[in-house]
Amino acid sequence: MKSKKLRLITTVIILTSLFACQPPVIFNEPQPTDTENLSIIPERLQGLYLSLEDSSTLLISDKLIQRIYDFDLEVNPSQLDSTSKLSGDTLINLETNEKQIIRRVGNNLITHIHSIDTLFQMDYDNVIRKFKGYYFLNKRYDKTSWEVKKVELKKGQLVISSISSELDVDNLKEITETPTDTVAPNKFTVTKKQFKDFIKNDGFSDSETFVRQNKKSL
């Protein structure tokens, strides 16, 4: 098959992000409740950040959060199969007709990956609220549901956290006294106090850390 490494990274870039997968938990309204939406992403959050997990960067402006992938990927021709074809300096995916410019270094092929993924864009369906020193990114999941991420900036490190583990779900079920047979995505109605309790109980356990590269984006 096409280089497993190449296919994996390409798939990750195109199909996954902080918001791409079906969330295990959704809420009936933006969180926390009874809290005003911010008009812009606060200036203190704006800037360029480097992911500690991969070579991507996070760019935050007053209205946008974008993840940028920009790096070289090296593969060996032996890892290609019948779905891929080399034509001069171009690697062609015969299934999708996707074309990638490559260069040769020794026996290997080098292709450059550049992709920009918009994770959050402030509008009617994407709102941000501040509560207890945290920022909460609320993204509409459907007409009556919202997915929520927690953002914390401390000592130059930006941590974006989501609800993912069974422990998080069980925690919410206990706090809200929701029946245990709820199927994913689990939908919750929470009060402001219940949401606060969830945060105090180490909710939002799935986190990714980004290190600030400058103080404000252009």
Output phi, psi for 191, to 5 deg: -85, 170
With 0.85 as the threshold, say if the pTM is over it: no
CA 55 vs CA 29, 114, 128, 149, 213: distances in Å: 34, 11, 26, 22, 13
Closest C-alpha among 206, 148, 196, 205 to residue 175: 196
Task: Give average pLDDT by consecutive 10-residue segment, the chain, 218 residues.
Answer: 44 44 89 97 96 90 94 78 80 81 83 87 96 97 96 96 90 88 82 97 94 72
pLDDT of the residue at 144 = 94
How far is 26 from 140, CA to CA, in rounded Å? 9
Of the CA atoms within 13 Å of residue 190, those in its CB half-sphere come to: 28
Q: What distance lies between CA 178 and its chain's CA centroid? A: 27
pLDDT of the residue at 1 = 40
Which amino acid, 112? H
